[in-house]
């Protein structure tokens, strides 16, 4: 009898282990269930802020940074505001330093003013961390923030291939810009960027043939050194985090045709380039990206390495939070 019970339990736990590649949904906000999150292109940026807040850019609803409870998705008031009416979008991408300082950039085309804003916290007024009149090329399609204080480093990319590195010498209050030239370059497509955890290297992803796989660049030479396949669909949001000795990458949905079904976010083990987890499939009924255009491609991925959660923003579609399933623990003494 004990042997039969033991075998049954082994089968049960094996089945459970296989099923645990699917992340658990914590909350979901659909484009048609929220007064400010619509089926349009005006929510592009997302980040985790201190105090358990998820912050998102909202251009269409007043050019503010919305604050949500990162556990429930409920909105927190007041929003962050006060940004200049400049560029293609007054606010676009958001990043948070290791010290908890919030940085926001606008989306600027050639000839526009590019602005980099700073908030000391989610309840602090903004200050100007960097401004540049009449930039020469589009900038602000994506942004990545790393470090704290004088070690704060910010990468900003733009459609068309522009890539800028911002560094500080006054503790992150103001910044200086250096234009860099990654090789291979970003091409003319929308670029996505993320820092490599714990190093000065960075990752890029776009629709150019050379960068359909997410590509690691040396932070000094700006030359590609490695790739993670993950997906070969082209541009789309992604993020990285360190979990102990394991480095993971969250990959958002790349641009897909509007009638795509079962579209999933992925979590990849970077060292082995293997799938660890995936979300449930996203269906068109959950919303559309830009109403008449492709689903996916735009938005953001955020990882909480402490709670082991993944946040996926699909612009014009959904905001979701997913958690790594708990590991089953067996007390073998019960069956002895």
- pLDDT per residue of the chain (336 residues) written in tens, 0 to 9: 333 333 333 333 333 334 448 999 999 998 878 788 887 788 999 999 999 999 999 998 889 999 999 999 999 999 999 999 999 999 999 999 999 999 999 999 999 999 999 999 999 999 999 999 999 999 999 999 999 999 999 999 998 889 999 999 999 999 999 999 999 886 667 789 999 999 999 999 876 555 557 889 999 999 999 988 765 456 788 999 999 999 999 988 776 666 667 778 899 999 998 999 999 887 543 444 433 345 567 889 999 999 999 999 988 888 999 999 987 433 333 333
Would you call 189 exposed, middle or buried from its count of C-beta atoms within 10 A (0-12, 13-18, 19+)? buried
158 neighbors 191 (Cβ within 8 angstroms): yes
How big is the CA angle at 23 (ends 21 and 29), to the nearest 5 degrees? 155
- Let me know: does 334 contact 298? Beta carbons within 8 Å: no
Q: Report the candidate in 41, 97, 119, 26 with the shortest Cα–Cα distance to residue 322.
A: 26
**Under 8 Å between Cβ of 140 and 164:** no
- Beta strand residue intervals within 192-265, DSSP E: 192-195, 202-205, 214-217, 224-228, 238-243, 246-251
- pTM equals 0.88
Neighbouring C-beta atoms of residue 284, cutoff 10 Å: 14
Whole-angstrom distance, CA of residue 28 vs CA of residue 79? 20
Task: Determine the 3-state secondary structure of 286 from DSSP.
Answer: helix
Q: How far is CA 272 from CA 184, 229, 246, 290, 304, in A?
A: 23, 10, 10, 35, 21
Domains of the chain, residue spans: 21-41+181-327
Q: Which of 84, 137, 95, 93 is nearest to 119 (CA)?
A: 95
Instruction: Look up residue 51 and give its DSSP letter.
Output: T
């Amino acid at each position: 009898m004990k042997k039969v019970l033991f075998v049954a339990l082994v089968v049960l736990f094996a089945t459970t282990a296989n099923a645990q590649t699917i992340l658990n949904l914590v909350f979901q906000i659909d484009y048609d269930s929220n007064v400010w999150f619509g089926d349009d292109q005006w929510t592009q940026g997302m980040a985790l802020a201190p105090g358990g807040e998820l912050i998102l850019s909202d251009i269409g609803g007043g050019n503010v940074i919305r604050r949500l409870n990162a556990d429930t998705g409920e909105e927190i008031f007041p929003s962050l505001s006060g940004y200049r009416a400049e560029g293609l979008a007054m606010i676009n991408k958001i990043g948070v330093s290791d010290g908890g300082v919030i940085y926001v950039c606008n989306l600027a085309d050639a000839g526009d003013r590019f602005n980099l804003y700073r908030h000391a916290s989610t309840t602090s007024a903004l200050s100007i961390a960097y401004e540049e009149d009449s930039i020469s090329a589009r900038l602000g399609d994506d942004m990545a923030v790393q470090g704290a204080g004088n070690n704060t480093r910010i990468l900003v990319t733009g459609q068309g291939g522009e890539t800028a590195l911002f560094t500080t010498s006054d503790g992150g209050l103001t910044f200086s810009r250096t234009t860099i030239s990654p090789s291979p370059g970003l091409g003319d497509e929308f670029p996505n960027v993320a820092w490599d955890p714990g190093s000065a290297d960075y990752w890029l992803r776009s629709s150019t043939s050379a960068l359909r796989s997410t590509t690691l660049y040396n932070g000094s030479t700006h030359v590609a050194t490695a790739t993670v396949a993950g997906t070969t669909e082209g541009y789309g949001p992604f993020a990285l985090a360190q979990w102990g000795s394991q480095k993971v990458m969250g990959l958002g949905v790349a641009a897909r045709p509007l009638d795509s079904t079962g579209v999933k976010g992925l979590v990849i083990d970077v060292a082995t380039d293997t799938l660890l987890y995936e979300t449930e499939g996203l269906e068109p009924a959950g919303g559309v990206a830009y109403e008449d255009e492709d689903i996916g491609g735009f938005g953001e991925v955020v990882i909480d390495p402490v709670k082991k959660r993944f946040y996926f923003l699909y612009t014009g579609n959904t905001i979701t939070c997913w958690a790594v399933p708990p590991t089953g623990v067996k007390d073998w003494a019960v069956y002895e």
